[in-house]
């Protein structure tokens, strides 16, 4: 089965303008996607703010308008603007940019001109993973999110390792994670799972919910704020779209699907989509993540496993391999039962995976990437200080 993320071609699809063609879409100027009666939305209600406005004003050209990408489907974009929803294509120049981080993604603020996306405004946060099939190529799953709901089902046994990996992705993005443990109505041990998740998430929050009974829904709503953006990330079948529909209180209707006999989802959601919830929050639903590879996540792994980094700093040797060295604080913590051996193994595995990946990527390219991420991090922090 093909990966649903890979299929949304992010501006490289057959619909984007081919080189040499005039920079205009086949149907002429942008037309409202769902009829001209589609009302527009004030930009502020879509999450617009000073950093984007300043960036847009810097580039102000006649006839350009800002918009927020609500959906990417094989190169065709659905963009929300002040005057309504538009179907847009990616300009030839942008479509042929070799940098995969430059491709517009769901949640991005873009500069539109005559039905073409000319530019992506600098992001203040981004969910970046290694591409499916080519983990050395980054892919931005969602941009400009304020909170990441890491959605995991409470059906069956608690999958700590899966949650850990998703949490690294969340911490790396610059947005705050919330572990949303779904299907509380059929869970065997809700309290035990919540406790386990709390141990993994550090400064983040944990909430157990049921989209069927409504248990925990108030707590989830407590994490939503008008004009702020939340993204749902998690495996297929975890109940992301069901949760989104419940939060939508009848105003939105995303497809949901049964889970297979082996407990796995069926990848019901096929494209990432940004919707507005009745309370004014913006929510991005995503297809279930399979084989999630992290990208340039060394730092984020350290952040997500902060207690291990702290312990390592207390080892007698600064280059301690935490195997048989004397005075190893990690070994001691595991022996004393204050550090879970499986969590340490998980940390090591993620780190090894990153090192392996790093070795495959051209060092000069990596240096460039890092510079970009540094800039991205600075932007995020600036925004938070507001």
Ligand X SMILES: Nc1nc2c(ncn2[C@@H]2O[C@H](COP(=O)(O)OP(=O)(O)OP(=O)(O)O)[C@@H](O)[C@H]2O)c(=O)[nH]1
Which positions touch Mg ion (CB under 5 A)? 240-241, 268-269
| Angle ∠(224,296,340) on CA atoms, nearest 5 | 75
> At closest approach, how far in Å is the CB of 165 from Zn ion?
23
Residue among 125, 172, 269, 354 that touches ligand X (CB under 6 A) = 269
Spell out, one character per residue from 202 to 241, where the chain touches ligand X: x when CB under 6 A holds, - when not. Answer: --------xxx-----------------------xxxxxx
Token representation of residue 287: 């297809």
Q: What does 259 interact with, of Mg ion, Zn ion, ligand X, none (CB < 5 to 8 A by kind)? A: ligand X
Residue 177 engages ligand X in binding (rule: CB under 6 A)? no
Residue 81: how many CB atoms within 10 A of its CB? 20
Q: Among Mg ion, ligand X, Zn ion, none, what binds residue 212 when CB lies within 5 to 8 Å by partner kind?
A: ligand X
- What SS3 state is found at 312? helix
Query: Judged by CB, which is closer to Zn ion: 88, or 330?
Result: 330
C-alpha distances in angstroms, 116 versus 29, 46, 79, 134, 224? 9, 20, 10, 28, 32
Closest CA to 182 of 205, 212, 140, 162: 212
Q: 3-state class of 43 per DSSP? A: helix
Q: Does 67 help bind ligand X (rule: CB under 6 A)?
A: no
Instruction: Choose between 5 and 344: whose C-beta lies nearer to Mg ion.
Output: 5
In the complex, the residues that contact Zn ion under the rule CB under 5 A are: 315, 320, 322, 328, 330
Nearer to Zn ion, 301 or 379 (CB): 301
Nearest CB to Zn ion, comparing residues 57 and 324: 324
Minimum CB separation of residue 304 from Zn ion in Å reads 19
The two structure tokens encoding residue 77? 């974009």
267 interacts with ligand X by CB under 6 A: yes
Stretch that binds ligand X, among 42-50, 200-208, 261-269, 324-332 (CB under 6 A): 261-269
End-to-end CA distance of the chain: 44
Q: How far apart are CA 120 and CA 65, in angstroms?
A: 12
The one among 53, 97, 136, 185 contacting ligand X by CB under 6 A: 185
Contact yes or no for 347/305 (Cβ under 8 A): yes
Per-residue tokens: 358: 């790093």
Question: Is residue 287 a contact point for ligand X (CB under 6 A)?
Answer: yes
The nearer residue to ligand X, 5 or 48, going by C-beta atoms, is 5
Bridge partners, residue 66, by sequence: 111
Task: Pick between residue 197 and residue 329 the one whose CB is nearest to ligand X.
Answer: 197
Q: How many residues bind ligand X (CB under 6 A)?
A: 25
CA-only gyration radius of the chain, Å: 22
114 binds, among Mg ion, ligand X, Zn ion, none (CB under 5 to 8 A by kind): none
165, with CB counted inside 10 A (0-12, 13-18, 19+), is buried
CB of 215 to ligand X, least distance (A): 8
Q: Which partner from the list Mg ion, Zn ion, ligand X, none does 330 bind, CB cut-off 5 to 8 Å by kind?
A: Zn ion
Backbone angles phi, psi at 248, to 5 degrees: -80, -10
Q: Which is nearer to Zn ion, 106 or 320 (CB)?
A: 320
Rank residues 121 and 166 by Cβ distance to ligand X and give the closer one: 166
Is 115 a binding residue for ligand X by CB under 6 A? The answer is: no
Strands ordered across the beta sheet of 293-294: 138-143, 126-130, 293-294
Supply the DSSP string of 123-185, one letter for each residue: PS-EEEEEPSS-TTSEEEEEES-SEEEEEEE-SSS--HHHHHHHHHHHHHHTSEEEEEEE-GG
Closest distance of CB 248 from ligand X, Å:
12
Q: Determine the interface stretch with ligand X among 172-180, 263-271, 297-305, 359-367 (rule: CB under 6 A).
A: 263-271
- Bridge-based pairing of strands 176-182 and 205-208 is parallel
Residue 123 vs 246, nearer CB to ligand X: 246
Binding of residue 259 to ligand X (CB under 6 A): yes
Q: How far is the CB of 269 from Mg ion (least distance, A)?
A: 3
CA-nearest of 264, 149, 155, 268 to 217 is 149
186 binds ligand X (CB under 6 A): yes
Site for ligand X, rule CB under 6 A: 182-183, 185-186, 210-212, 236-242, 256-259, 265-269, 287-288
């Amino acid at each position: 089965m093909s990966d649903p993320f890979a299929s949304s071609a992010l501006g490289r699809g057959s619909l984007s303008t081919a080189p040499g063609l005039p920079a205009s879409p086949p149907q002429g100027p942008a037309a409202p996607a769902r009829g001209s009666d589609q009302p527009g939305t004030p930009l502020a209600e879509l999450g617009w703010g000073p950093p984007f406005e300043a960036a847009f004003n810097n580039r102000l050209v006649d006839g350009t308008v800002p918009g927020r990408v609500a959906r990417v489907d094989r190169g065709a974009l659905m963009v929300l603007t002040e005057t309504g929803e538009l179907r847009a294509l990616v300009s030839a120049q942008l479509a042929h940019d070799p940098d995969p981080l430059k491709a517009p993604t769901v949640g991005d603020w873009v500069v539109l001109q005559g039905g073409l996306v000319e530019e992506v405004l600098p992001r203040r946060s981004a969910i970046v993973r290694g591409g499916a099939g080519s983990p050395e190529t980054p892919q931005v799953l969602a941009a400009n999110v304020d909170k990441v709901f890491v959605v995991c089902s409470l059906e069956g046994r608690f999958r700590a390792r899966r949650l850990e990996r998703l949490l690294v992705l969340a911490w790396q993005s610059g947005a705050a994670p919330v572990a949303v443990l779904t299907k509380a109505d059929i869970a065997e041990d809700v309290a035990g799972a919540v406790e386990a998740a709390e141990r993994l998430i550090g400064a983040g929050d944990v909430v157990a919910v049921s989209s069927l009974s409504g248990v925990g829904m108030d707590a989830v709503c407590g994490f939503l704020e008008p004009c702020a953006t939340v993204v749902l990330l998690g495996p297929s079948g975890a109940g992301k779209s069901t949760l989104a529909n419940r939060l939508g209180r009848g105003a939105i209707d995303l497809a949901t699907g049964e889970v297979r006999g082996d407990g796995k989802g069926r990848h019901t959601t096929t494209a990432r989509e940004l919707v507005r919830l009745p309370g004014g929050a913006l929510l991005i639903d995503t297809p279930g993540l399979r084989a999630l590879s992290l990208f340039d996540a060394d730092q984020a792994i350290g952040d997500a496993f902060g207690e291990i980094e702290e312990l390592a700093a207390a080892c007698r040797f600064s280059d301690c391999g935490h195997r048989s060295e004397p005075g190893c604080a990690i070994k001691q913590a595991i022996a004393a039962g204050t550090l879970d051996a499986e969590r340490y193994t998980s940390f090591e595995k993620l780190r090894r995976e990153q090192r392996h990946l790093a070795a495959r990527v051209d060092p000069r390219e990596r240096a460039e990437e890092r510079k970009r991420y540094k800039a991205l991090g600075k932007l995020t922090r600036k925004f938070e200080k507001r």
